[in-house]
Amino acid sequence: MFAQLFSLFRRSPNQPLIDRLHGEIMAAARQPALFTEYGVADTVAGRFEALCLSAAVALGRIAALPDPGPAVAQEVTDALFRHLDVALREIGVGDVSVPKKMKTLAQGYLGRVGAYSGPLERGDSEALARAIARNVFGDGSRAQDAQAQRMARYALSWRAELADLTVERLLAGPLPQRDAQHVS
């Protein structure tokens, strides 16, 4: 009984790696260019969209690595959701409402990652741009279609930089990053 209780407080041996990857994905999602040049709304919803795309790019590649890639990708996803839980509480969402909000966020995350994964794996810029336009921008104006196409090029260029990622390189870090500002 006590062993089970104490296991709740034990840190994963991968925790430094998980923390680093979480930070790198969050940094990619918070690049100012995504908000100032690409037109992602600088709101809680817009930041969530940037996080979903960044996670789809990085974690999709990490999950495709040999062991421990899939487990690491899952642990980072879990860390992202722990962070979202804390963030909801910090912005004043009540304890009773947090589980419902988290369920909505999880469904949205899984839907977006599912929509982005296939086009990312195939290198299909058009399909990825359509998914981004639908999820990030919603209304499909011509200006936003152009922004979605630029975001698709950015995501695919980052995915290409991650193509040579090995388990050894993942463990040594940091992840190769792509500067969103320099993608036209």
HEC secondary structure over 128-177: HHHHHHHHHHCCCCHHHHHHHHHHHHHHHHHHHHHCCCCHHHHHHCCCCC
The whole-number pLDDT of residue 184 equals 74
Token representation of residue 23: 């930070």
Question: Given its phi and psi angles, is residue 39 left (phi above 0), alpha (psi -120 to 50 degrees) or beta?
Answer: left
Distance CA 29, CA 51 (A): 5
The pTM assigned to this predicted structure is 0.89
The whole-number pLDDT of residue 11 equals 63
Token representation of residue 75: 């642990």
The whole-number pLDDT of residue 5 equals 45
Residue 68: asked if its preceding bond is cis (omega within 30°), the reply is yes
Number of other CB atoms surrounding residue 173 within 10 Å: 11
Q: Phi and psi at residue 31, in whole multiples of 5°? A: -55, 125
* pLDDT by 10-residue block (mean), the chain, 184 residues: 50 86 96 94 94 98 96 96 92 89 95 97 96 87 84 97 93 90 80
Residue 37 neighbours by CB under 8 Å, 6+ apart: 180, 181
Distance CA 21, CA 178 (A): 15
The whole-number pLDDT of residue 10 equals 56
**Which residue, among 119, 130, 86, has the nearest Cα to 105 in the 3D structure?**
86
The whole-number pLDDT of residue 54 equals 98
